[in-house]
Amino acid sequence: MTERLDILEVCAKELYSAVVCDTLDSIGLRDQAVAPGLEPLATDMTIFGFARVGIYMPIYHDDDQVNVYENEITLVDSLAPGEVPIISCNGNRSIAPWGELLSTRAQVLKSAGCITDGCVRDVKLIKEMGYSVFSAGRNPVDTKYRGKMMWLDVPCVIGGVTVNSGDLVIADLDGIVFVPRGRIDEVIEGALAKVRSENTVRDELRAGRSLAEVFASHGIL
């Protein structure tokens, strides 16, 4: 666990979605950025964490057998520090699977944030508590009678990206990028090297060198 949190600390200090996306491109992983449309509740919200997948399906009633909240309770209560619920609704915006009470519990457990292609509610309260949430929109409608989380920690597709629990997620105002769990060390190493080279390029541009000159020297734009 300590090693995983160390990884997140390094990411938060030096990395961002664009440089990680460029690094993924360089090793042939060119479909790891979520399609535009999932936005943070506030522009300063960022997420650096490890995915925990939960998948919803539509329902049209609730009773004792349906037990609509059982799996979402299990997922949230099992979050470890630095983990991020990835709530896949298959683009269903008619439900808000995430709200303030789930955010409160997740924040107490030191979750790094939540990402859903469904909607979110209790937005004012979530923003006040400073818990980072990216979603497809806002909707006051509960999942009760409308949707149930059916599967936990299985592969999902969100924004066109296949996501597994344990994948690294980096989300900021530019977008959301997932790093497959088996390639995390390789990608972080490459991204750190790139961002440090970009710092050199930035300094040279500020000193008056042209784009053509710095690109010839470093191959970076």
Domains of the chain, each with CATH number or no CATH: 2-181 (3.50.30.40)
Whether the CB-CB separation of 107 and 162 falls below 8 Å is answered with: no
Asked if pLDDT for residue 195 goes beyond 60, the answer is yes
Average pLDDT over residues 89-104: 96
Q: Regarding predicted confidence, which is higher, 203 or 218?
A: 203
Residue 121 is labelled as binding a ligand: yes
Q: How does 39-52 read in b/e, with b if 16+ C-beta sit within 10 Å?
A: bbbeeebbbbbbbb
User: Rounded CA gap, 209 and 110, in Å?
Assistant: 44
Handedness of CA 72, 143, 160, 41 (dihedral sign): negative
Residue 9 is labelled as binding a ligand: no
Asked if pLDDT for residue 213 goes beyond 70, the answer is yes
Asked if pLDDT for residue 2 goes beyond 60, the answer is no
- Residue 120: the pLDDT is 98
Which residue, 95, 127, 133, 89, is CA-closest to 115? 133
Residue 221 is labelled as binding a ligand: no
Count the residues in the chain.
Answer: 221
Which residue, 143, 140, 151, 144, is CA-closest to 64? 144
Average pLDDT over residues 20-31: 97
Residue 3 is labelled as binding a ligand: no
Residue 202 is labelled as binding a ligand: no
Cα distances from 42 to residues 7, 82, 165, 173, in angstroms, run: 25, 20, 25, 9
